[in-house]
């Protein structure tokens, strides 16, 4: 199932941006022999739809703005924290090399402004395993999630 999710997730974003319904996407995936449990795929599609919506909102944010978060109560978390910010980072492994894409998560107990999120990434980047050998070129906020604390 993980392999199918890895293949389908980028295709979900494209389908959502093109206005494809979940049912049409699911049928197409099944026809191509790449599918997994419908309920799980529906949940992934809903998450992807929220990320696409948020991306559009994030384009108009200034550095002092707080990004609007999506409340997520059903996900299981491996790290403590109430706010999760997912960023797409463009990195360069060595001078002259083509930039590659990596996703990074910033976890915080308090809501952060866009500037605060970017400062966290810049500060913590050298401590990441891959951060020691890769230079951070650009970062783009792609999702802001809020876990309600019971």
Over the chain (150 residues), what is each successive 10-residue block's mean pLDDT? Answer: 76 91 93 89 87 78 76 56 83 82 85 89 78 78 75
Residue 85 has a pLDDT of 86
CB 107 within 8 A of CB 92: no
Number of domains in the chain: 2
Residue 116: inside a domain: yes
Considering the domain architecture, whether residues 114 and 141 belong to the same structural domain is answered as yes
pLDDT of residue 130: 64
Q: Which domain holds residue 93?
A: 70-146
For residues 52 and 74, state if they share a domain.
Answer: no
Q: Are residues 41 and 79 in the same domain?
A: no
Residue 120 sits in a domain of what CATH number?
Answer: 3.10.20
Closest Cα to residue 53, out of 135, 145, 142? 142
| pTM of the shown model | 0.62
Provide the pLDDT for residue 87. 85
Q: Which residue has the tokens 């494209």?
A: 14
Say what the pLDDT of residue 143 is. Answer: 81
């Amino acid at each position: 199932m993980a392999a199918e999710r890895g293949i389908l997730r980028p295709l979900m974003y494209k389908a959502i941006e093109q206005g494809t319904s979940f049912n049409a996407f699911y049928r197409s995936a099944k026809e191509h022999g790449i599918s997994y449990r419908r309920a799980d795929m529906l949940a992934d599609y809903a998450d992807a739809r929220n990320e696409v919506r948020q991306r559009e909102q994030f384009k108009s944010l200034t550095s002092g703005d707080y990004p609007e978060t999506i409340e997520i109560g059903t996900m299981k978390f491996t790290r403590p924290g109430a706010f999760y910010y997912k960023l797409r980072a463009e990195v360069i492994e060595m001078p002259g090399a083509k930039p590659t894409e990596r996703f990074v998560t910033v976890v915080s107990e308090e809501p952060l402004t866009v500037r605060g999120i970017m400062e966290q990434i810049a500060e913590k980047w050298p401590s990441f395993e891959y951060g020691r050998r890769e230079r951070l070129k650009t970062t783009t906020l792609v999702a802001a999630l809020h876990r309600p604390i019971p």
